Amino acid sequence: MSNSQDQRGDSPVRVEQAAPGYRRVIFDNPPLNLYDPEVETALAEAVAELEADPGVKVVVFDSAVPQFFMAHLNLGRIEEFGPGMPTWFDLVDRLGRARFITVGSLRGRARGIGNEFLLAVDVRFASREHAVLGQLEIGTGIIPGCGGLQRLSRLTGRSRALEIIASGEDYDAETAERYGWINRAVPDAELDAFVERFARRVASFDADALIAVKELLNQEAPAPSAASLAATHARMVELLDRDFVQERLRLSAKAAPEAVLDLELHMGERIGSRALQH
């Protein structure tokens, strides 16, 4: 465990040293692991720490919250992230260019910005039984505005990305694997050991060779342009500002915690019926 983890105390994002060259970053913002401003601040600190350590070769991102890797962006607090969410776009760009390889270990739900975060890391492994992925925005009357449109279409192709985003449905790990959305669906009982073995194996190899692999692959498949991402985010904000969308957010904010949890657990099943009510 790194010293900085002790300094951050109850931070919603913590860094642990798993082995030489290998770090784990754990999201811990119960009950839903929402992407809140506090999560963003702590994630920025974690990424800066990783960048400052020349010994880091591989970083695994996972969750300490059962059933949720990262539920979605806290839309009720979107203004706190700043116009255009500059910190978010800077973070995922830096992770894409980082000298270390990034791995997402998914057990639970990753919807909205949670899925967009996974799309921004280098490698994704998921629990066959318990992983749930999706872009839920369409049910609220908006679109993915944090890179999901661009990165998902590059992995799955246009038609499947359109299916995923326009349906707002939940997708299991086996389907995501077939679509090219994730690298591999792994039996849940084997997921932790599988990810651990992969990370330790990568950490055992020469740092300069690993850096070269990532740099060259980035040249062959460059990240989405800043202009494209900014334009998509601006379109999302336009849709978000409409009165009926804001009314939905106000109603959601008034819901009892048990009702919110139930909805979050079954979002893919219910998002269509919610949309038809308006």
Please count the CA atoms within 13 angstroms of the CA of 33 that sit on its side-chain side: 27
User: Identity (one letter) of the amino acid at 166?
Assistant: A
**Residue 273: predicted pLDDT:** 54
Per-residue pLDDT tens digits for 242-263: 999 999 888 888 889 999 999 8
DSSP annotation string for 85-97: -HHHHHHHHHHHH
The share of the chain scoring above pLDDT 90, in percent, equals 88
Which stretches of the chain score pLDDT less than 70?
Answer: 1-9, 272-278
pTM for this structure? Answer: 0.93
HEC profile of 100-117: CEEEEEEEEEEECHHHHH
**Residue 230: predicted pLDDT:** 98
Q: Which domains does the chain have, with CATH numbers?
A: 3-276 (3.90.226.10)
